[in-house]
Amino acid sequence: MPRRNRVTNDSGHIKIQKRAIPLLLSCITTFPLFSVQSSANSGIDVYPPNWWVGMQNSNVELMLYGDDVADDTVSIAKGDVSVKHSQALDSENYLFVTLDTSNVSAQELVIRLTDSDGTTRDLTYTLEKRAQGSASREGFGPQDAIYLIAPDRYANGNVENDNVKGYGDPADRSFKGGRHGGDIQGIVDNLNYIQDMGFTQIWTMPMLENAMDKYSYHGYSTTDYYKIDPRFGSNDDFIALSTEAKSKGLGIIMDMVLNHIGSNHLWMKDTPSHDWINNNGKFVGTTHKREVLHDPHAVASDIKGFSDGWFVPTMPDLNQRNPHLANYLIQNAIWWVESAGLSGIRVDTYSYPDKAFLSQWTNRIMDEYPNFNIVGEEWSVNPAITAYWQAGSHRHDDYDSALPSVMDFPLQAAVVKALSNDESWNSGFNSVYETLATDFLYGDPNNLVIFPDNHDMSRIFTQLGHDKDKWNMAMTLLLTTRGIPQVFYGTEILMGNEGSEDHGIIRSDFPGGWPSDNDKNAFTGHGLTDDERWAQQRVKGLLQLRKSHPLQFKGLLKHFAPENGVYTYIREANVDSGSGADKSNTHQSDKILVILNKKPVDLPLNKYAEVLSTHQTLTRVSDGISFKTTDTLRLPAMSASVFIVQ
């Protein structure tokens, strides 16, 4: 049947109708994908919207979406690439086309689609030149500190995009579960604050389009994998954020969701194939029993119940066993790394997607970017389960994981437990000590992401009973022990969620981020209490220590078994292991000594002679007072002391 609403160019060829957007993103739709395309705009959407030459994997599979495109024959009308494969699935509106880009230069292609009636449509597609050094980009690492932001709740830099025509879930700052108006511009406006605090990386909750009816502010119900939600800004705005952040020494870590989509995604209205969504597109809840992936006694139905189940009815669970969906998700991740110059990826609900797919996904990305970093969220407090996913770990099977980093939930839980319980032979600081003693399970424990709290749990200040001293001990430990620390926005000013576990309260607005925030502004310090200002400066001081002593925090951790409520450890540069330490660094021989104690103590430093014997002085970071390594320290109860040992 001849197609309708085509536009013919001067040569008689059928052309795709284009929309007025920047060339780099020329194939990204400018209308919400959840809406029905009108007959007056019956073009073809292409995913990914552009690609690059010189990639490690020279094949790129395009997903074409348009009216009755599935039965078209594909050819190259202009360009020197070849069509390697073309395949339709169940829907008549999708066609998957694989191009071979090996040994070609950057160019503009014309892809011709020929229908059975002989009519044609021409699609322009751009193969670009990669940015210099793109493949060798350095990902975030142990020398870094990550600032986690909920974009909707951080700062509203552009009030004009608070509500966007065609999108529901209107802005309502008085509603804890609604959109409050924070956006990309708000983050850009406050990059100096983030930099001055001493953070070196920014991880934001997802900012891709979430065109849901309500509760969409959190970003985990994706409705378009290639489009920034316009209430946050545009794709160009996100790229500009990355560029501006980089100029200030800040990397951008993108939060990616591989397991599920939002129920308003186009795929729920026009599904590419019958097996695209798990459980035949119908809600069946996940069991959340992540242990079944490792349980030698598990039955197959329990494994399926975990991996194929949905989180909630509004988050359809993707079937990554479908090779075209798997390729779509892999290429989408690479596209954002390449387009936005990312320094890392955080993967939501890491273990929930198909296990074999996760191996394929991580390997493909690390093949393209060998020095990159990806951290997976595996919410288990069992180190044996979290360690399983990290590359280089010893596993009970031959699973091939290329995942460089994992969120260290075991350590987070241990810190809270240690500070909430009294000291004894098997409690208190022993919880931290015993957790760190299991680091032999991990391929690289110093590359784990550690944290006091995050966007899905109570604030650490609330977890510790709003005790300022316990907060100080937790923050000191987690900003100085092994791993890559992540701090949730507001934790630095003692934000809490007393009396509520609601995520909308946990993710409250950062004071000062809105034009009407006249009484309190954490960016400037105006209106902060003495305790809030102290906490902010404490975090800043520890972050500045990390920046001045990167070799120590990339290096070794040595700790002493807790004794009488005292837990002590040192950080030192690993200069003898061929790690590439800069021998010109003036602080290379320094050590960082940390002492946490719950009771008043007179502590003779010769107790630690085996790590201090080659040094002479200790300088306390908080007040600059120096001591000899032979002195006895008098430390008050509930103190967290950090020293530079020289």
Q: Report how far residue 587's alpha carbon sits from residue 589's, in angstroms, rounded to the nearest whole number.
A: 6
Amino acid at 180: H
* 416 within 8 A of 428, measured Cβ to Cβ: no
Q: Report how far residue 526's alpha carbon sits from residue 314's, in angstroms, rounded to the nearest whole number.
A: 41
**DSSP element (H, E) containing 241:** helix 235-247
Amino acid at 490: G
630, two tokens: 């032979």
- Phi, psi angle pair for 201, to nearest 5°: -140, 150
Q: CB-based burial of residue 33 (10 Å sphere; 0-12 exposed, 13-18 middle, 19+ buried)?
A: buried
Handedness of CA 265, 270, 272, 274 (dihedral sign): positive
Q: Report how far residue 28's alpha carbon sits from residue 239's, in angstroms, rounded to the nearest whole number.
A: 15
Sequence-separated (6 or more) residues with CB below 8 Å from residue 286: 305, 306, 307, 308, 309, 310, 311, 317, 352
| Pairing label, strands 591-597, 45-47 | unpaired
Sequence-separated (6 or more) residues with CB below 8 Å from residue 80: 104, 107
Q: Given 209, 377, 408, 572, which residue is catalytic?
A: 377
Cis peptide before 445 (omega within 30 of 0): no
| Pairing label, strands 344-347, 251-256 | parallel
Q: Report how far residue 429's alpha carbon sits from residue 451's, in angstroms, rounded to the nearest whole number.
A: 17
Q: Report how far residue 296's alpha carbon sits from residue 342's, in angstroms, rounded to the nearest whole number.
A: 38
How far the first Cα of the chain sits from its last, in Å, is: 81
Strand, coil or helix: 315: coil
Q: Report how far residue 114's alpha carbon sits from residue 509's, in angstroms, rounded to the nearest whole number.
A: 53
Q: Report how far residue 252's alpha carbon sits from residue 204's, in angstroms, rounded to the nearest whole number.
A: 8
Q: Report how far residue 179's alpha carbon sits from residue 211's, in angstroms, rounded to the nearest whole number.
A: 12
Q: CB-based burial of residue 2 (10 Å sphere; 0-12 exposed, 13-18 middle, 19+ buried)?
A: exposed
Sequence-separated (6 or more) residues with CB below 8 Å from residue 97: 61, 62, 64, 74, 83, 85, 86, 111
User: Alpha helices of 437-483 — where are they, by DSSP H?
Assistant: 460-463, 468-478
Query: Is residue 108 flagged as an active site residue?
Result: no
Short-list 283, 248, 637, 254, CA closest to 472: 637
In residues, how long is the chain?
646
Query: Is residue 348 flagged as an active site residue?
Result: yes
Question: How many Cα atoms occupy the beta-carbon half-sphere of 479 within 13 Å?
Answer: 30
Strand, coil or helix: 278: helix
Amino acid at 174: S
99, two tokens: 């191009």
402, two tokens: 């290329």
Q: Given 255, 348, 532, 590, which residue is catalytic?
A: 348
**Which residues are designated catalytic?**
348, 377
